[in-house]
Structure 1
Amino acid sequence: MSTTQSERLRGLLEPLVAAKDLDLEEIDVSRAGRRGVLRVVVDSDEGVELDTCAELSRAISEKLDASDVMGEDEYVLEVSSPGADRPLSEHRHYVRATGRLAKLTLHEDGELIARILGVDDEGLDLEVPGVKGRKPTARRVTFAEIAKARVELEFNRKDKKEEEA
C-alpha cells in the first residue's frame, strides 16, 4: 500500500472509528486473486462487539464508495478486532492487557512469561510465576527493555468478573 493511499485511508477512516469510541489499530490493503482486500482493525478498552464491527463496516463502506481512495478495482472490506494473539506495541495495548499473562522478548535477558500487574509511562510491573512450587516474584521491566510482547492465551484464566464476585 502506498504511503499516499495509507494516509488517505487513515484520514478517511479515523473519524468514523473515533465516532464509535474505538481506536484504529491497523489498516492493511492486500490482494486476494483479482480483488483487493482492505482490513481494518479496531479496538477499545472494553473490547469490540460484533454489532459495532458491523455498524462500522457499513459506515466505512459508504464512505469508501463516496471516495476514490480504493480506486476502481473490486475489493473486500473486513472490519475486526485485533484478536487474542496480537503483538503488544502501544502503551494502550499494555494497559488493556493488565491482569493477563504476557510473553516478553527482552533485548538482553531473553524471554520472560509474566502477568502484567501495572503499567505506567516508563514500563510494566510484573508478577513472574514461581517454578516448582516457589512463590511468584515481582519484577519491573521498562519499555526500552522490551523487543517484543504478546498476550499468552490462558484457557483456565479467571475472568475479572469472577474475581470481583
Structure 2
Amino acid sequence: MEVLQKIEEMLQPIIEGTDIFIVRLKIKPTNNVKVYLDADDGFPVSKSSSVNRQLRKAIDESGMFPDGDYSLEVSSPGIDEPLLLHRQYMKNVGRKLEVTGKDDTVELGMLREVSDTHITMEVPAGPKKKEVKTIEIPFESIKQAIVQISF
C-alpha cells in the first residue's frame, strides 16, 4: 500500500465526525509529508495543530518511517491555491472568485450558487461594469478557480 494511502487511512478516524475534510496529500522524496485540510467553518491553527499531533502519533506508532525519519506539515491549502473540491466551492459562496476556463477565458465575479454540475456567478456587465449579469459555469469547463481576497 502506498504511503499516502496509509496516511489518509490514519487521518480518516481523526477527522471523522468533524467539519474537517482532506483537500490534498503530498510527500516529497525527503519524507516531507504535507497534509492540506480545510473545514466548513474555517481551519484555524488550533484545528491544524490538533490534527498534526494526532496524526504524528499514529504515524510514529505505525513504524512507517523507521527512526522517525520524516517531517509532517498539516495546514490549509492557502488562500492563493485553486479550489479543488466541490466542498470548497460550497464553503466560498458569497466570495469573489477568479475562474479560468479550459479555453483560457477568465471570469471575475461573486460566487452565488453551487450545484452538482456547475457554479453560478454574478459578473460585471454593461459598458461601465456597474450592472451585473448571472452566468453558469460547468465544473467540467473550469481549469482553475481562486478566491479573491478584498482588503
Name the TM-score, length of structure 2 as normaliser: 0.87
User: Match for residue 73 of structure 2?
Assistant: 78
Q: Percent identity?
A: 26
Q: Is residue 2:126 matched to residue 1:142? A: no
- Residue from 96, 103, 107 that aligns with 1:101: 96
CA distance in 1, matches of 2:121, 2:91: 14
CA distance in 1, matches of 2:52, 2:110: 34
Q: Is the 8 A contact 2:60 2:68 kept in 1?
A: no
**SS of residue matched to 1:121:** coil
CA distance in 2, matches of 1:109, 1:4: 35
Q: Is the 8 A contact 2:122 2:132 kept in 1?
A: yes
CA distance in 2, matches of 1:37, 1:19: 27
Amino acid at match of 1:17: I
User: Match for residue 52 of structure 2?
Assistant: 57
**Deviations 1:92-137 (Å, cap 9, x if unpaired)?**
1111111111111112361111110111112111100246353121
Change in Cα spacing, 1:60 to 1:73, as seen in structure 2 (3 Å) is closer
Amino acid at match of 2:59: L
Deviation of 1:72 after TM superposition, in Å, equals 4.0
Change in Cα spacing, 1:19 to 1:70, as seen in structure 2 (3 Å) is farther
Name the TM-score, length of structure 1 as normaliser: 0.81
Equivalent positions of 1:15-164 (< 5 A) are 15-31=13-29, 36-72=31-67, 74-108=69-103, 110-130=105-125, 132-155=128-151
Which deviates further from its counterpart, 5-14 or 92-101? 5-14
- Structure 2 residue runs of 5 or longer lacking an equivalent are none
**SS of residue matched to 2:27:** strand
Q: Cα RMSD (Å) of the superposition?
A: 2.0
Matched residue count: 150
CA distance in 2, matches of 1:133, 1:21: 38
